[in-house]
Structure 1
Amino acid sequence: MTLGVERMAEHAALHGLELILLADDPSMYIDVGNTKVIQFPTKDRNALENYISENIRQIANIFSSTDSWGVAAAELREKFGFPSRISSEKLIRLRDKRWVQSQLEPEGTEHATMYPRIVKPRSGTGSMDIHLVHDSEEHRRVLEEHGSSETYVSQPYHRGPVYSAELWSNGTTSIFFGVTNRIMTAPPLFLEKVKTFPHEHGTPWEAKVEAWAKDLLAKLDYDLGLAHIEFIETAAGFELVELNARMAGAMITPAIDASTNFDPYALAVADALNNTPHVPVKREILGGHSHVSLYAEKTGTLMCVEGIETFAAYPGQPAWFAAKKSGSIITDLTSYRARIGNVVATAQTPALAQDRALAAALAVRIHIA
């Protein structure tokens, strides 16, 4: 979600507006182009409120396409009276994995606590602080060390391939962009190594995913715009991992933009301005898009990344999108924070794009001291 800033700035300009990005660390953002970026203490609510008060006559609206900052933006909109259908109350509720789980289960459903299980924060994000526990003693120990049964949620450990369904809904219209597949690291780490879009498009399997995902949004009365629904296909069917009321992360949103006739950045800006967007009636697939995420294998200082200069020899126009710059300190090997960058490739089909991204990624060498 550090990508797409320039695309959103382009759409803001079509409305006669300028996109201004407030960022605690502007270096995180890859494609700001000519966008005005202000280094700002975004975790300081008083500073944010003062900034808005001082500039309120020039501000059309406030938004964030992420989950945690989406809540902060909604609260600021409400405090200062900016119009939006996207409320902070609903965003907070949708971030609560236990609440979502309770809404999707039939009334009176009882579960036997079977192991292994996944224990994770109720409002977590970014595959952080996820624990695979194998018995009640390990379960208890994780909660004692990391939180409590009130701040964490316990879910069955579903077995099967992992996917995400990418959608947008304003409560009356729902758009299905497609499915992203995921090749994961082995448990107990849950890092996403390869993601390809639009996976199995046009197949009966994809049609089942679309029906399942839209039914899920309907049950939750979802009207918050972009939706990123992670799920697992088990022997018994689809099982929800989590629903994220935000733009899809990593390179998924650029993949939707490049591979279909839908523009998620235009939808994000329309939602930000409380407008009803124009959307195509029918989806068109324009190609396949895949990216391989490369992670640090040890802690330390990122010295350099080599091998990118060989990409011209590979098919699929592979490109490197850095998530870390030289000199970055690597302290965490268990979440997205260990990601050094992504190798992206395209093709006529998703499967070919994945082959090309995997091949080019083998040329990359990461040096950490």
Structure 2
Amino acid sequence: MRLYLTALKPTDSVTDGFLPAAQALGCEVTILTDRPRRHPSAVLCDVRDPRALIDTIEHLGRPDAIFSNSDHLQTETALAADYFGLPGKDWRACAAAKNKFLMRRRLAEAGIERVFSVRLGPLDPVPAHVPYPVVVKPREGVASEDVMLVERDLGRAVAEIRRRRPGAALVVEEYLEGPLRTLETLGDKDGPRVLGGFETTLGALPHFVEERLDWARPDESRDHVLAALRALGVGFGACHTEYVLTAAGPRIVEVNYRAIGDHCDFLLGDVLGVPLFEWILRAHLGSAVPAPPRATGFGCAVSLVADRAGTIKDAPVHETVTDGDVRLWHRPLRSVGDVVTLTGTNRDYLGVIRAVGPSRARVDAAVEEYRAARPWVVE
């Protein structure tokens, strides 16, 4: 079986997740990227252009599957898969999910939910009247970059982001207050299956840095989220949806039409005890998604966020630790000697810990013991 994987920068999800999974499935993998020096044995291709993607694949040899886990390449990859008549996502759903303005418009038109939202093009004036507090963010942003809570003076916040992102379109939305949750789904031609979800702990406002995700079974909001995904046309393949439990009911924050990131994809497979990356690839190869098992334990992913600027003087290594009935993984994202500059985004992560065990109490204790024994030191 011949699998083409489109990618931008290397990620742990691809390197340690999807590539080993493809090998286990017996796939011949070709990585297509605009950064071939950063990927082993990759082929240079303008992966942001579906015409170039189709042309390159036709030249290299007919595919059995075309896949991407990149947040930025879902639409292009879906178009290429459709051109070759392969299982894949609807490119319209990919475009609507990625573009936060389109997402809000589709959900409102379908009668799913109405959230105040205004799109600001690069030269558009800032609206004079908005229902403060609001959140301003890039229309197609990732990693909490330039996502800000604004309680007054929207013009100043927009100008600040525009200085860093000249030419970018922004979205201004009402602030959704309440607990933040996720729903993880994986679908085949018959529709999506719910894998589970997480409770998300954020850092201090006005930024929205995800500091911790804890396994949680889907709540009564599941039906609302699934209805929103249907309205967007989202169903096939992996999807990571974030929503808030507001006083008025659940409201979608964003739909990421890919697997959950920041090592929570590994955590999801650990908690369920399934080869998640293989399941995702099998769907793109035309197989049915198995019925997910019910999780019997607990898991969490803790992002180790820098609390000061400086130079990293000491750090724990990349390792797996067994603490009684808890298994814990630490993955450093920075190195000793690196200079840390605080950004108020996920770029402030130093490392990530994921842990699974029989209960939250046991997992929490193991994480705290590990952090106390192996601290990151920034001076």
TM-score range, shorter chain: 0.7 to 0.9
1:67 to 61, 65, 71: 71
Judging changes above 3 Å, is the alpha-carbon distance between structure 1 residues 172 and 52 closer, same or farther for their aligned structure 2 residues? closer
Shift of 1:266: 2.3
Judging changes above 3 Å, is the alpha-carbon distance between structure 1 residues 109 and 270 closer, same or farther for their aligned structure 2 residues? closer
* DSSP 3-state at the match of 2:146: coil
1:126 to 143, 155, 169: 143
Partner of 2:238: 226
Q: Quick one: which amino acid aligns to residue 27 of structure 2?
A: L
* DSSP 3-state at the match of 1:37: coil
Query: Quick one: distance in 1 between partners of 2:339 and 2:43?
Result: 22
Shift of 1:262: 4.8
Judging changes above 3 Å, is the alpha-carbon distance between structure 1 residues 236 and 366 closer, same or farther for their aligned structure 2 residues? same
Q: Quick one: which amino acid aligns to residue 66 of structure 1?
A: S
* DSSP 3-state at the match of 2:315: strand
User: 8 Å contact 1:165–1:209 — kept in the other structure?
Assistant: no
Partner of 1:33: none
Q: Quick one: which amino acid aligns to residue 287 of structure 2?
A: T
Shift of 1:265: 1.2
Structure 2: stretches of 5+ with no match in the other structure: 1-10, 117-128
Deviation digits for residues 215-241 of structure 1 (CA, Å, limit 9, x no counterpart):
222222223421111111223322211
Query: Quick one: distance in 2 between partners of 1:276 and 1:125?
Result: 30
The answer to which of 140-149 and 98-107 deviates more is 140-149
Figure out how many residues of one structure are paired with residues of the other and give that number.
Answer: 349
Q: Does 1:162 align with 2:162?
A: no
* DSSP 3-state at the match of 1:3: helix
Structure with the largest fraction of strand:
2
Query: Quick one: distance in 1 between partners of 2:37 and 2:155?
Result: 40
Shift of 1:329: 4.8
Query: Quick one: distance in 2 between partners of 1:320 and 1:134?
Result: 37
Partner of 1:140: 155
Partner of 2:334: 324
Shift of 1:117: 0.7
1:181 to 199, 202, 212: 199
User: 8 Å contact 2:32–2:47 — kept in the other structure?
Assistant: no
Query: Quick one: distance in 2 between partners of 1:329 and 1:76?
Result: 40
* DSSP 3-state at the match of 2:182: strand
User: 8 Å contact 2:186–2:280 — kept in the other structure?
Assistant: no
Query: Quick one: distance in 1 between partners of 2:229 and 2:200?
Result: 22
Q: How does 1:1-369 map to 2 (within 5 A)?
A: 2-3=12-13, 5-13=15-23, 15-21=25-31, 24=35, 37-38=40-41, 52=57, 55-56=60-61, 59-77=63-81, 81=84, 83-105=86-108, 113-135=130-152, 138-147=153-162, 151-170=169-188, 172-197=190-215, 199=216, 201=217, 206-260=218-272, 262-273=274-285, 275-280=286-291, 283-299=293-309, 301-306=311-316, 316-350=326-360, 352-368=362-378
Judging changes above 3 Å, is the alpha-carbon distance between structure 1 residues 105 and 309 closer, same or farther for their aligned structure 2 residues? closer
User: 8 Å contact 2:283–2:289 — kept in the other structure?
Assistant: no
Query: Quick one: distance in 2 between partners of 1:51 and 1:194?
Result: 40
Query: Quick one: distance in 2 between partners of 1:239 and 1:45?
Result: 31
Partner of 1:31: none
Query: Quick one: distance in 2 between partners of 1:97 and 1:43?
Result: 24
Shift of 1:82: 6.0
Judging changes above 3 Å, is the alpha-carbon distance between structure 1 residues 218 and 75 closer, same or farther for their aligned structure 2 residues? closer
Judging changes above 3 Å, is the alpha-carbon distance between structure 1 residues 308 and 278 closer, same or farther for their aligned structure 2 residues? closer
Shift of 1:131: 1.3
The alignment's TM-score, normalised by the length of structure 1, stands at 0.80
Query: Quick one: distance in 2 between partners of 1:44 and 1:3?
Result: 18
User: 8 Å contact 2:64–2:86 — kept in the other structure?
Assistant: no
Judging changes above 3 Å, is the alpha-carbon distance between structure 1 residues 335 and 260 closer, same or farther for their aligned structure 2 residues? same
Query: Quick one: distance in 2 between partners of 1:102 and 1:171?
Result: 26
Shift of 1:342: 0.9
Judging changes above 3 Å, is the alpha-carbon distance between structure 1 residues 220 and 90 closer, same or farther for their aligned structure 2 residues? closer
User: 8 Å contact 1:288–1:347 — kept in the other structure?
Assistant: yes
Structure 1: stretches of 5+ with no match in the other structure: 28-35
Judging changes above 3 Å, is the alpha-carbon distance between structure 1 residues 73 and 104 closer, same or farther for their aligned structure 2 residues? closer
The answer to which of 322-331 and 165-174 deviates more is 322-331
Query: Quick one: distance in 1 between partners of 2:48 and 2:103?
Result: 28
User: 8 Å contact 2:188–2:288 — kept in the other structure?
Assistant: no
RMSD of aligned Cα (Å): 3.5
Query: Quick one: distance in 2 between partners of 1:13 and 1:328?
Result: 34
Shift of 1:126: 1.4
Judging changes above 3 Å, is the alpha-carbon distance between structure 1 residues 266 and 14 closer, same or farther for their aligned structure 2 residues? same
User: 8 Å contact 1:256–1:263 — kept in the other structure?
Assistant: no
Q: Quick one: which amino acid aligns to residue 240 of structure 2?
A: H
